[in-house]
Amino acid sequence: MFRDREKRVLVLGGAAAAVLLLLTFVVFPGIARLKSLGRASAAAESDLAEVRRAKPELERLQRDIRQRGGVVLAAANRKESPLIRLSSALQDAGIPQSAFSVKSSGARDGESFREESFDVKLENLTCLEAVKALQQLSGGALPTVVRSSLLKSRYDDPRYLDVTLRVEYLTPKTPKS
């Protein structure tokens, strides 16, 4: 039927086709899979290293939350409303009543506390007065967090600032029944 030479060519051609199919469907996809797994492994290692670097910062933040929780619980027994407490804190910082306005902008449940939002607008402040107001609202015995601040110099006198703050007043989160 076939001569020896034709049989050798046929066998070599079949072997070459088998090698090509093996390379195409087994070896090259395997190499591509190994490369992608190597990249994924390197990314996972860098993520793990980043988490390890962030661990002390996360622990510090958890301590700060526990300390803030103590302030929130201590302030929960006060009779004054949050609006009155914010106004008195601003007045304690040396800002006259006529220079600021406080407006409620809703409440939401956060991870650890209930947060009541207030928009605080302060007008005609010096830089020092603005810093004192921020310090009074963001630190100390008042259970507040300043979420955002916008400081603009006044158009009529650049020595003075108009400040808009988004302040969250923290209260204990009530358990859901």
pLDDT per residue over 73-120, tens digit each? 777 777 888 888 888 888 888 888 888 999 988 888 877 788 889 999
Residues 84 and 166 in one domain: yes
Using CA atoms, how far apart are residues 141 and 136, in angstroms rounded to an integer?
9
- Would you say residue 177 lies in a domain? no
- Would you say residue 159 lies in a domain? yes
**pTM, rounded to two decimals:** 0.61
Tell whether the torsion through CA atoms of 166, 131, 77 and 65 is positive or negative: positive
- Would you say residue 143 lies in a domain? yes
Give the confidence band of 1 by pLDDT, cuts at 50, 70, 90.
low
The whole domain housing 128 covers 80-172
- Would you say residue 123 lies in a domain? yes
Residues 70 and 143 in one domain: no
Residue 88 maps to which CATH number?
3.30.70.60
pLDDT per residue over 34-69, tens digit each? 999 999 999 999 999 998 999 999 899 888 888 877
Residues 168 and 84 in one domain: yes
CB 88 within 8 A of CB 142: no
Residues 120 and 165 in one domain: yes
CA 11 to chain centre: 66
**58 exposure class (CB count in 10 Å sphere: 0-12, 13-18, 19+):** exposed
Residues 64 and 32 in one domain: yes
Q: Quote the number of domains for the chain.
A: 2
